[in-house]
A and B are shown apart, each in its own frame.
Chain A
C-alpha cells in the first residue's frame, strides 16, 4: 500500500517513470493540493523601498464671508480707553440679545442681528442713559421691537410700553436706521408723550404737530426733526397734506392702537395711508371685543398676515412672532400686589322698587315689540337699569355712594389717594357734589385739555384732593397716576380690557404700594349678569394671545344681550356682530 503524501513536504516525490512524460504532464499528474513554494530572487545592492504616501492635509476648508457696515463711529464716540490693568466697570451679567425675527430668512441678515452686541453693551457704548434702570423685561421688549418692521407691543397696561418704544426709537436713531419717526396717539396723551420723550430720550428733537393748518404744514415739513408727535384727529385731517408733501417715515408708532381696530374707519385708513418702513402698534387691549380687532391692527402692522375668518388658535400662531405681550404677574416679582375686591351692594329699598318697576316695564315693552325689538332698545334698557343701580332716578338715593363714602373716609384718613371711575359724566357730577369733603376733582372728555391737566396737577400735588373722578373714556387711557392706591369702579364697563386700563392708571410701574381695586356690583341686578359676560370676554383675549383652546363664544352677541332679559334675539337685519364698547 502506497504511503500517503507527507503534507510537510512541498514537492511530492514522483516515480522516475513520470519524469519522462515532460513537465506539463508531470504537473497535470501532480497532486496540486499542496502549493509549491516560489523562490524570489531579491537584489541586495541599490534597493529602493516602495513608498506609501498618506495624505494628511486636506487643504484649507471653504470659508463663507459676510461684511457689515455699522454707522460711522462719529455718531457715538467710543469710550475713553482705561488704564492697562483696567477692570471694566461692573456690568450686569444679564445679556439681552437681539434675535432676528422669523421673517428674516436671508442668512446674512440673520447674522446681522445675531452678531450685534447685547443690548446692555449697546446702551452703555452709545452712552444712552436712562432716568431709571429699565426692568429686564423692558430690555426684552426693546430687543423685540428693534429688529422688527411690524410689531405689536401688547404688554398689560402699566408695564411701560411707551418707555420701551421710546428707548427702541433711540437705538434706531442712534444707529442710523431711523431718521424720521412719527408717533400717533390720542389727543389727550400728546402731552404725556412729550413728557416721556423728554424723560427717556432727552437728546431727541421732538415736534408736536398741532395748531392751525399753516402751522401744521410747517411742522410736517420740518426736515431735521427725528420725532414728530401727532394725534389721530390731526392725522385724519392732514392725510392729504402728508401725502401731498411726499412724506415718508422710517417708523410709525401708534399708541392705543385699538383706535384703528375698525378697518373701515377714517382713522384706520388715514394711519394706513402714511408711507412708512416700520409699523409698531402699542396697545394693552389688542382684542377688546372680538378677534376682528386684532385684524384691524394688523392691517397697519403687517397687512395680509391675518384675516377675520381665521380660528383664534390659527390667528395666534400667525401673529406669534409679531406680538409681544407680558402681564404683570409674569414679569414683576416685586410689583406691589393688586388686591381685587368685588363689593356686592344691596340696593336701598327705594332703589330696589324703582329698579324692579323699570325692569318689569322695560321687559314687557320689549316683549310686546317682539321681532321689532332691536339691539338699541335692549341697550337703552340696560343703561337705564345701570343708572338706577348708581342713583335712584326718583329719590336720588344711592347704596353705592353710601358705601363709597365710607371707604373714602378711610382713604383720606390714611393720607392716601383714590380714583373713581364711571361711564357717565352725569354720575361723576353727582359724585362730586356729594364728595366735596374729600376734595373730589373731575376728569372727563367734556373738559378742555388745560382743565384736565390742571385737575391732574392738583390731584398729584395738593394733599386736600383725595379723590379723582374719571370717565372710562378719558381717564382710562395713558395717564400715570401710580401714586393712587385705591381704585373704585363705581359702575362696570362693557369689556374687561377698558376696566383693566382704568385700574392700571394706578397699578403700574412706580406704584408706591399695593393697589386695592373695588368693583361695585349691585346684587340681583343686570350688573351681575353682565359680569358673567365680561368674564367670558377675558377668556377670548387670553385664547388668542396665548394660543389656548378656542372659547365657546366671543363678545357680547345679540343673543347674549337679549338673553340678559330672557328674550329672543332680534331680526337678523338689525343684528350687529357684537356690541361696541
Chain B
C-alpha cells in the first residue's frame, strides 16, 4: 500500500516534541557478497534502548531486475522490497524513521511515518564536522519538527550510532 504525506488523513503520531516519550526507528541494509542484501530495522526509546528489532532474510538481485530496473534498482530493493517489509512487521509507531542510506528514502511512499536521511560529516579542511539531515521530499514541510525530534534523541544518543548496532546484529544473525 502506498501512503504519502497527503493521504491517510490521520495526524502523525507524536507531532511536536513534548508529547509522550517518543520512539525512533533506524532502517538500514547490510550487503553480504555471499548472500545478498539484509535489511535491519531497530526501534529505540528516547534513551536509545532497544524496543524492537526486525531483520530480513537476504534478498538477491536477479539479472532480469538488474537490466530492467536499471538505475532505479537500488531504490526499489531498499524501499519497496526491504524497507516496506520491515516497517510492515513493526508494531511501533516511532516519531521518525531514520536511515543512513539515500536509497532507503524510497521507503517513504510505503509508510505514514516521516523518513529522513542522517549522515555524519567528518571534519575536513578546517571545517568542523556535523550531522547532515535530509528529510524525504514529502516531509520537507515538517523539517522543523523532524529536527526537534532529532535534537531530543541527540541529547542522549549519537544519532548515527544505532546503525552500528543493526550491522552488528545482522552479522550475528548470519552466524546463527
Contact = CB atoms under 8 A, between A and B. Distances in A.
Interface in A73-115: 73, 76, 78-88, 91, 95, 97, 107, 110-112, 114-115
Contact of A115 (B42, B91, B148): B42
A117 B161 contact: yes
Which of A81, A85, A91, A116 has the largest number of chain B CB atoms within 10 A?
A81
A1 B88 CA distance: 85
A54 B45 CA distance: 43
A327 interface: no
A68 interface: yes
Contact of B156 (A58, A110, A114, A124): A124
Contacts of A86: 151, 154-155
Interface string A22-42: 000000000000000000000
Which of B50, B64, B90, B172 has the largest number of chain A CB atoms within 10 A?
B50
Interface stretch (A59-67, A339-347, A417-425, A494-502): A59-67
Contact of A87 (B47, B62, B130, B156): B130
Interface string B71-112: 000000000011011101111000000000000000000000
Contact of A110 (B17, B59, B90, B172): B172
Given A68-B50, A82-B155, A117-B161, A54 B57 contact: no
Interface of A is mostly: loop
B51 A68 contact: yes
Contacts of B131: 87
B135 interface: no
A125 B52 contact: no
Contacts of A76: 47
A54 to B, nearest CB: 5
B41 to A, nearest CB: 9
Interface in B114-166: 130-131, 144, 147-148, 151-152, 154-158, 161-162, 164-165
A76 B56 CA distance: 33
What bracket does the count of chain A residues touching chain B fall in? 35 or more
B54 A63 contact: yes
B30 interface: no
B3 interface: no
A561 B169 CA distance: 55
A56 interface: yes
A63 B85 contact: yes
A121 interface: yes
A560 interface: no
Nearest to B128: A87
Contacts of A85: 147, 151
A114 B151 contact: no
Interface string A368-407: 0000000000000000000000000000000000000000
Nearest to A106: B176
A85 B69 CA distance: 39
A86 B18 CA distance: 16
Which of B18, B47, B148, B169 has the largest number of chain A CB atoms within 10 A?
B47
A65 B89 contact: yes
B64 A117 contact: no
B51 A67 contact: yes
A54 B147 contact: no
A446 interface: no
A118 interface: yes
B25 interface: no
B113 to A, nearest CB: 17
A85 B132 CA distance: 11
Contacts of B169: 111, 114-115
A68 B58 CA distance: 23
Nearest to B51: A68
A23 B90 CA distance: 76
Interface in A128-165: none
Nearest to B18: A81
B21 A78 contact: yes
Interface string B26-68: 0000000000000100101111111111111111001011001
Nearest to B167: A114
A500 B58 CA distance: 54
A56 B69 contact: yes
Nearest to A66: B53
Contacts of B162: 117
Nearest to B22: A78
Interface residues of B, number: 56
A70 interface: yes
A113 to B, nearest CB: 10
A416 to B, nearest CB: 45
Nearest to A63: B89
A375 to B, nearest CB: 53
B158 A67 contact: no
B173 interface: yes
B156 A125 contact: yes
Contacts of B168: 97, 114
B40 to A, nearest CB: 10
B84 A79 contact: no
B158 A66 contact: no
A125 B157 contact: yes
Contact of B86 (A63, A83, A84): A63
A56 B68 contact: yes
Contacts of B39: 61
A81 B161 contact: no
A76 B21 CA distance: 12
Contacts of A124: 156
A187 B44 CA distance: 44
Given A73-B21, A111-B172, A78 B51 contact: no
B129 to A, nearest CB: 10
A64 B41 CA distance: 10
Nearest to B152: A81
A68 B82 contact: no
B55 A70 contact: no
Interface string B8-22: 000000000110010
A493 to B, nearest CB: 46
B55 A64 contact: yes
B118 to A, nearest CB: 12
B151 A107 contact: no
B151 A81 contact: yes
Contacts of A55: 64
Interface of A: 54-58, 60-68, 70, 73, 76, 78-88, 91, 95, 97, 107, 110-112, 114-118, 121-122, 124-126
7 contacts: A60-B85, A62-B56, A64-B54, A64-B173, A67-B51, A68-B53, A126-B47
Given A61-B85, A86-B155, A110-B172, 15 more contacts: A63-B88, A64-B56, A65-B89, A67-B52, A73-B21, A73-B45, A78-B21, A79-B155, A81-B17, A81-B18, A91-B158, A111-B169, A122-B48, A125-B156, A125-B157
